[in-house]
Amino acid sequence: MTLSETYHQIRQRSETICSKLQTEDYVVQPIVDVSPPKWHLGHTTWFFETFILKPYVTGYQEYNPEYNYVFNSYYETVGARVIRTDRGNLSRPTVLEVYRYRAYVDEAMMNFLCHETSPEIKELLILGFNHEEQHQELLYYDIKYILGHNPLFPAYDHAYHSPAHEKSPTANFIPIPEGVYEIGFSGQGFCFDNELNRHKVYLNAYEISPNLVTNGEYLKFIEDGGYHDFRYWHSEGLDWVKNNHIECPLYWHRVDEQWQHYTYRGLEPVKLDEPLCHISYYEAYAYASWKGLRLPTEFEWEAASNKFNWGLRWEWTESAYLPYPGFAKAPGAIGEYNGKFMVNQKVLRGGSEVTPPGHSRATYRNFFHPNLRWLFSGIRLAR
Amino acid sequence: MTLSETYHQIRQRSETICSKLQTEDYVVQPIVDVSPPKWHLGHTTWFFETFILKPYVTGYQEYNPEYNYVFNSYYETVGARVIRTDRGNLSRPTVLEVYRYRAYVDEAMMNFLCHETSPEIKELLILGFNHEEQHQELLYYDIKYILGHNPLFPAYDHAYHSPAHEKSPTANFIPIPEGVYEIGFSGQGFCFDNELNRHKVYLNAYEISPNLVTNGEYLKFIEDGGYHDFRYWHSEGLDWVKNNHIECPLYWHRVDEQWQHYTYRGLEPVKLDEPLCHISYYEAYAYASWKGLRLPTEFEWEAASNKFNWGLRWEWTESAYLPYPGFAKAPGAIGEYNGKFMVNQKVLRGGSEVTPPGHSRATYRNFFHPNLRWLFSGIRLAR
Amino acid sequence: MTLSETYHQIRQRSETICSKLQTEDYVVQPIVDVSPPKWHLGHTTWFFETFILKPYVTGYQEYNPEYNYVFNSYYETVGARVIRTDRGNLSRPTVLEVYRYRAYVDEAMMNFLCHETSPEIKELLILGFNHEEQHQELLYYDIKYILGHNPLFPAYDHAYHSPAHEKSPTANFIPIPEGVYEIGFSGQGFCFDNELNRHKVYLNAYEISPNLVTNGEYLKFIEDGGYHDFRYWHSEGLDWVKNNHIECPLYWHRVDEQWQHYTYRGLEPVKLDEPLCHISYYEAYAYASWKGLRLPTEFEWEAASNKFNWGLRWEWTESAYLPYPGFAKAPGAIGEYNGKFMVNQKVLRGGSEVTPPGHSRATYRNFFHPNLRWLFSGIRLAR
Amino acid sequence: MTLSETYHQIRQRSETICSKLQTEDYVVQPIVDVSPPKWHLGHTTWFFETFILKPYVTGYQEYNPEYNYVFNSYYETVGARVIRTDRGNLSRPTVLEVYRYRAYVDEAMMNFLCHETSPEIKELLILGFNHEEQHQELLYYDIKYILGHNPLFPAYDHAYHSPAHEKSPTANFIPIPEGVYEIGFSGQGFCFDNELNRHKVYLNAYEISPNLVTNGEYLKFIEDGGYHDFRYWHSEGLDWVKNNHIECPLYWHRVDEQWQHYTYRGLEPVKLDEPLCHISYYEAYAYASWKGLRLPTEFEWEAASNKFNWGLRWEWTESAYLPYPGFAKAPGAIGEYNGKFMVNQKVLRGGSEVTPPGHSRATYRNFFHPNLRWLFSGIRLAR
């Protein structure tokens, strides 16, 4: 595919995701971690305008200088911005206006992509593609949160179809021998800076489950009083459980003696054999402790990743999100991409049913704070 | 006018106010005191459905039982409700759906109003009319806040026209002699329960200004460092100023060495001879102290109210919002209307340019917490 | 008594109140409203040093200039101060050092009081006496809070003896006829500025109880579910109950199926016929609503005050704390005494068992925020 | 030394540290991380009473059952406890009473230690010794905070003498070759469970500084505007700087154009060649970024630890506090010691001038949240 075809396809996909929304759904921000869908559409557009069109297209006429302020996310290098908690207070620009902004930038980009580009620009473009794909996944999370926390529990798409999840033929844990393993990205394609450099780690012998923990398995933890037994929890995890009155995964509701959960199709009974979803790291850790097992590190996960299927859930690992040896930030605004988040977050590996096709890989390092649950997070056990 | 004509006219007016909004403007709630416009449209409709149609119309089919939860404001008698801070998190019901709800209830109401009604129901209807008019004024406040806090400062209506404000021919304060005055509503028309009972108060001799404080007069207070001089402030007022970095009235901005303020037409230079607007009680008190004067009590205001014009601003009084002698709450949900707010609030008298025609009167007691500014509040001095 | 005798007696009384404390009890500040006893001892001393010795005694050598910062309470006129929440973080100056400071200032004051003083200084002295007496009452409140919230529930004084409370021979409410009454202080003795000016108010006919509400009567309200029935509460009061999980008066504990409360003698069973104590205005209002009655206004209270005994409890009134007609602040720091608190507080009338002898009077206006309970507050009903 | 001699010596040392305090200094808790010194004295005593005397000494008479509630720190296994923020609200038990409690438990312990003990009990005893030594270090931190945040800046000990700090003869970074290194405790003596198990890690080649960063070097960072340049900070670190108005290390004050800092001797000028102290991880990271360098990981630190001196500062590492391979919690309350804190904290290596002699070692893993500064923390750079 040409760059211009890829650009078109990725940009189109963001709009397709939103095509099932009502105008009002584009606007709200029920919690700070969720952004209004129209903000995602504007921000990804701002990214191309700011980092490609304005520096590299002579005579490019900026669409609206005030959008810099509205759609900048966290790039301190490029100036002031609406603070994150205020995104849901902005009724303007309207959804229609944001789509007009997208069309304007897309036209300029398509013109630009008719011409040959330098390797440097190509690299920026591919970063922009991957950036928009990351926001596509966030769009799915945020839409689910917005609709799933509405008292009317409206469906996003009655025909939404979750991918099949095949269990491994055996439940036996996979043994991995002690030794030095190579970790991190190598090869030709794209990767984020946090996956570099490929380096050696020494791993003790360990075993890792071929399967994800299911709803039914987690239900046993709930029924055993797991949420109320301090022995399984980090001290901070227990505070989080108590302060937020946590009793079950996000989106679960006890209705008429039955466990239901909100899905993109609306409220449905929880299926016991489906992989567990929407739990925090604290819960993942507590569940593993209750089982007498543990979570894998991100290195253990990566070293074994060719031995099991993955891609259905982002799997919490025991690893903190830290730089790899030799990690170096790019200069300028692009260098703000990953490094500045490398404290107090946990690494997740895998992928999810709402990860754009081909976006994840075995070396991909996703990361979130340990209390967050609106991502499609699950558990794989190790020992 | 018949009840049915009045109903139609009042209901129509709410929709006319909103007719200049974009769909997105109906949805957001930038601060807890502001409600999304679509919530006002739904809540006033819920009021008629809950207190008229459901109890008095045989066979009435409720539009959607879940709307009880969404559109109840604070009536504990009628069940659970969305907590106030969450109103801006609800993208559903959509604006269109809310208008459908209005149409459905309006049709049922118009049918109902074809028939003779009992005095009791008539009283409820008139309360419903006045309730919707109160929300019309709040709609104006909330729309101004939503658009006036958007970084794009969009106009609500480029043709919006503020009423003329004629200064009194003289600036001389009006002297009112000492004596017993009658305060509170009497007569035939509608009044709220908090205006009853009419009763005697003893007033010392006092003088009251025939004019409202202007922007230009208030600017002198700002330029004299009034916001930074503790001598003029209540202790709580000073804390409020410091914690919120208050330097000027709400909606004022210092742009290029000039004072501008957001109006329904967008940003405009502050006109010095216009009556001051959008200040808190704390500021009103501090301004009066700085002038060596004071605010009138609500009784002083009412006793002199036939001697000056009013209706341009809600004028902060020195009086706390308290029950009149013999005040009694109505039984049931309607009794929750006023009494339960009678603590920690200040009375304002007058009216404003966005008060529905004929809605206010000399005995009308408006009330807000002393820190609030998004209402159309102003200052009249006394001594 | 000479001024010097009065000075000595009042200063001595503060130290006598503290004589039953351990050193550690002087230091802590469990909530913002409570000040460490050593702070009270220092602050009242600072008052005499700052307003008498430094301005009027030639050659007076300030004890320690840094004490200005430590012991100033809220006088913005006299400079920076330790913020209120930090008082309990200060281990120095030590208790011994504070007593040394008192001795130093007392010696200078006694020398000063040997000489004739001007009327102006005499007025300041008497304000200082009354100021220290107010802090003596606060000392009693704060000591009770400090010891009564310690898990060991230590006694302050095993021999502490509450004054007898004689019930009125009749429970009949006292009728007061409609008319104009004079309110406020007049005469020769001392009063605070907030009691001036004496002025006329018009009162409707009313009736007021000769007795305070007892523990036993209030217990019926509790047992009737009064804390959980929104109909009796202000909206803010209900929020306060819910957010703070209030179920009974301050210091009450349900121990082995019995109601106990902390007293200066330690934990004791609640005596049903004693006057209720340590309730907030919100509770007082809710109790009155539950009884189908109301609280008196401060004017009703004062106009009837010669018809019943009082002085056992500070009795919540329905009145907000507002300036009397013609109220004027004194110039300078002394003018900060009362006026700047006249917003969002409620007036209490009466006195309490820990009010210094002769300190209160029928025109005395005590005031606190409506949520506070550590004062000796009670309820007298009216209708 | 016999166990009984060691017990006596360690217990005595805690009291010696406190011997320079005034009674009042034992009581206060200016921030949640600081505990009142008397609480440390009681809590370490409670540890021996709860884990040795009560389970193993027949007929032991508990000193006061309520002390369980007062002096339990975080052991959920052994019941309810005073919440951490309330420790500074407790004036009782008094300091004298706490010393009596110590004497009572010490006598029982000395009697117990006359007899032979099982290996299991010996292990508990040694844990108790190390536990008390950890609290001795915290005592030093907390005393410094309590006195160093008092506006009078009282000295703890005018004769306090900081240990000499010899600079390495060369400033050249020490090169460490790539390879597999063994990390973690092995051998005979005591270690905490978090130092086990000894395991292999693979390290890339790196270089580590032989010296700690000095005050003078850090001052250049301040003067270069380092605190205001987002490029050097984590996103969370920058928020921390802004929200807390951080401009310099803890205890530093700009007085008359000169940098002073609070020491145990009182306020003193900052010495430029002394090792920097009292900085957060966020600041350590930002300083390293500004230098174009980085912090070592805890593995890099340990692998090189025989090549430089250490023990003057706890040195922030880049490593998150996580379990070593094969980490297992002990059963029961003792198992709560370390594991439950293994989230959102950073590892520090080294020691400090207030670490008890012999308490630290090359494998010792100290850990704190990244925002904390009241510990004796410093910076060693790597690349």
Q: What CATH number does residue C71 fall under?
A: 1.20.120
Tell me, what's the pLDDT at D164? 82
**8 Å CB contact between A213 and A380:** yes
Q: Considering CB atoms only, which of A86, A89, A146 is closest to B91? A: A146
Q: Is residue C228 part of a domain?
A: yes
User: Per DSSP, what are the bridge partners of residue C350?
Assistant: C314
Q: Which of C148, C165, C198 is the last residue of a domain?
A: C148
Q: Considering CB atoms only, which of D282, D326, D344 is closest to A236? A: D344
Helix (H, G, I), strand (E, B) or coil at C155: coil
Subunits adjacent to chain B (3 or more Cβ pairs under 8 Å): A, C
Tell me, what's the pLDDT at A1? 87
User: Is there a single domain that holds both residue D86 and residue D23?
Assistant: yes
CB contact under 8 A, C370 and B325: no
Q: Considering CB atoms only, which of D206, D236, D342 is closest to A343? A: D236
CB contact under 8 A, C25 and D90: no
User: Is there a single domain that holds both residue A110 and residue A194?
Assistant: no
The tens digit of pLDDT for each residue in B262-300 reads: 999 999 999 999 999 999 999 999 999 999 999 999 999
| Contact: chain C with chain B (3+ CB pairs below 8 Å) | yes
Range of the domain at C20: 3-148
β-pairing, D366-368 vs D377-378, is unpaired
C contacts of B320 (beta carbons < 8 Å)? 320, 322
Query: In this structure, what CATH number is given to the domain that contains residue A364?
Result: 3.90.1580.10
User: Is there a single domain that holds both residue B374 and residue B280?
Assistant: yes
pLDDT of C300 > 90? The answer is: yes
D311-to-C22, D188, D308, D355 alpha-carbon distances in Å: 41, 21, 10, 8
Q: What percentage of chain D reaches a pLDDT higher than 70?
A: 98
pLDDT of D330 > 90? The answer is: no
User: Is there a single domain that holds both residue A339 and residue A252?
Assistant: yes
User: Is there a single domain that holds both residue B21 and residue B107?
Assistant: yes
Query: How many independent structural domains does chain A possess?
Result: 2
Smallest Cα distance from D149 to chain C, Å: 8
CB contact under 8 A, D342 and A237: no
CB contact under 8 A, C343 and B318: no
Tell me, what's the pLDDT at D80? 75
Smallest Cα distance from A164 to chain D, Å: 34
**8 Å CB contact between C311 and C360:** yes
Q: C95-113 vs C3-18: helix axis angle to the nearest 10? A: 170
Q: How many CA atoms lie within 13 A of D26 on its CB side?
A: 27
User: Is there a single domain that holds both residue B142 and residue B203?
Assistant: no
Alpha-carbon distance C243 to A77, whole Å?
43
Tell me, what's the pLDDT at A94? 98
The residue type at C346: K
Q: Is residue D21 part of a domain?
A: yes
Nearest CA in chain C to D68: C151
Query: What tokens appear for B325 in the block?
Result: 């002698």
Smallest Cα distance from C58 to chain B, Å: 29
User: Is there a single domain that holds both residue D136 and residue D191?
Assistant: no
For residue C81, name the pLDDT band (cuts at 50, 70, 90).
Answer: confident
User: Is there a single domain that holds both residue D59 and residue D205?
Assistant: no
Tell me, what's the pLDDT at A232? 95
User: Is there a single domain that holds both residue D191 and residue D127?
Assistant: no
B contacts of C198 (beta carbons < 8 Å)? none
The tens digit of pLDDT for each residue in D86-118 reads: 999 999 999 999 999 999 999 999 999 999 989
Residues of chain B whose beta carbon is less than 8 angstroms from a beta carbon of chain C are 74, 76-77, 180, 199-204, 206, 230-231, 233-238, 281-282, 285, 294, 318-320, 322-323, 325-326, 340-344, 346, 370
Tell me, what's the pLDDT at B82? 83
Q: Is residue A57 part of a domain?
A: yes
The tens digit of pLDDT for each residue in A85-131 reads: 899 999 999 999 999 999 999 999 999 999 998 999 999 999 999 99
Can you tell me the mean pLDDT for C225-251?
96
CB contact under 8 A, D340 and A76: no
For residue A204, name the pLDDT band (cuts at 50, 70, 90).
Answer: very high
Nearest CA in chain A to B87: A30
Tell me, what's the pLDDT at D167? 80
Q: Please give the interface size between A and B, counted as residue pairs whose CB atoms are below 8 Å apart.
A: 94
B contacts of A27 (beta carbons < 8 Å)? 24, 27-28, 91
The tens digit of pLDDT for each residue in B121-136 reads: 999 999 999 999 999 9
- For the ranges A56-70, C159-173, D345-359, the lowest mean pLDDT is seen at C159-173
Smallest Cα distance from A295 to chain B, Å: 35
Q: Residues near A213 by Cβ (< 8 Å), separated by ≥ 6?
A: A275, A276, A287, A378, A379, A380, A381
Alpha-carbon distance D376 to C121, whole Å?
53
Query: What tokens appear for C135 in the block?
Result: 């802090």
For residue D73, name the pLDDT band (cuts at 50, 70, 90).
Answer: confident
Can you tell me the mean pLDDT for D276-288?
98
Can you tell me the mean pLDDT for C180-190?
94
The tens digit of pLDDT for each residue in B142-173 reads: 999 999 999 999 999 999 998 888 788 888 99
Query: What tokens appear for D280 in the block?
Result: 């957060």
How crowded is residue C216: how many other Cβ atoms within 10 Å of its Cβ?
Answer: 13
pLDDT of A200 > 90? The answer is: yes
Tell me, what's the pLDDT at C146? 98
Q: Considering CB atoms only, which of C77, C202, C206 is closest to B200? A: C202
C contacts of B322 (beta carbons < 8 Å)? 318-320
Alpha-carbon distance D281 to D298, whole Å?
14
- Return the DSSP state at B270: P
CB contact under 8 A, B236 and C318: no
Exposed, middle or buried by CB within 10 Å (0-12, 13-18, 19+), for A159?
A: exposed
Residues of chain D whose beta carbon is less than 8 angstroms from a beta carbon of chain A are 74, 76-77, 180, 199-202, 204, 206, 230-231, 233-238, 281-282, 285, 294, 318-320, 322-323, 325-326, 340-344, 346, 370
**8 Å CB contact between B203 and B370:** no
Q: Is residue C52 part of a domain?
A: yes
The tens digit of pLDDT for each residue in D167-198 reads: 888 889 999 999 999 999 998 899 999 999 89
Alpha-carbon distance C56 to C333, whole Å?
16
Alpha-carbon distance C146 to C140, whole Å?
10
User: Is there a single domain that holds both residue C329 and residue C213?
Assistant: yes
Q: What percentage of chain C reaches a pLDDT higher than 90?
A: 88
A103-to-A21, A22, A135, D275 alpha-carbon distances in Å: 19, 20, 18, 58
CB contact under 8 A, D152 and C93: yes
Q: Which of C148, C164, C183 is the last residue of a domain?
A: C148
Q: Is residue D383 part of a domain?
A: no
Q: Is residue A69 part of a domain?
A: yes
Q: Considering CB atoms only, which of B204, B320, B340 is closest to C235? A: B340
Q: Please give the interface size between A and D, counted as residue pairs whose CB atoms are below 8 Å apart.
A: 76
**8 Å CB contact between C130 and C190:** yes
User: Is there a single domain that holds both residue D196 and residue D137?
Assistant: no
Tell me, what's the pLDDT at C316? 98
For residue B75, name the pLDDT band (cuts at 50, 70, 90).
Answer: confident
Q: Is residue D169 part of a domain?
A: no
User: Is there a single domain that holds both residue B62 and residue B99?
Assistant: yes
- For the ranges A333-337, B64-68, C105-109, the lowest mean pLDDT is seen at A333-337
Query: What tokens appear for A200 in the block?
Result: 């050696």
Rg, Å, chain A Cα set? 22
The tens digit of pLDDT for each residue in B78-96 reads: 777 888 889 999 999 999 9
Tell me, what's the pLDDT at A171? 87
Q: Is residue C154 part of a domain?
A: no
**8 Å CB contact between C129 and C7:** yes
CB contact under 8 A, C322 and B319: yes
For residue A169, name the pLDDT band (cuts at 50, 70, 90).
Answer: confident
As a whole number, the mean pLDDT across chain A is: 95
The dihedrals phi and psi of B327, each to the nearest 5 degrees, come to -60, 135
pLDDT of A336 > 90? The answer is: no
How crowded is residue D239: how many other Cβ atoms within 10 Å of its Cβ?
Answer: 13
Which of B20, B92, B153, B374 is the best mutation test for A, with the most CBs of A within 10 A? B92
Q: Which of B114, B148, B182 is the last residue of a domain?
A: B148
CB contact under 8 A, B70 and A26: no
pLDDT of C85 > 90? The answer is: no
Nearest CA in chain A to D342: A234
Can you tell me the mean pLDDT for C163-177?
89
Q: Residue B129's closest CA among B189, B73, B89?
A: B189
pLDDT of C353 > 80? The answer is: yes
Can you tell me the mean pLDDT for C35-58?
97
Smallest Cα distance from D27 to chain C, Å: 7
CB contact under 8 A, B234 and C343: yes
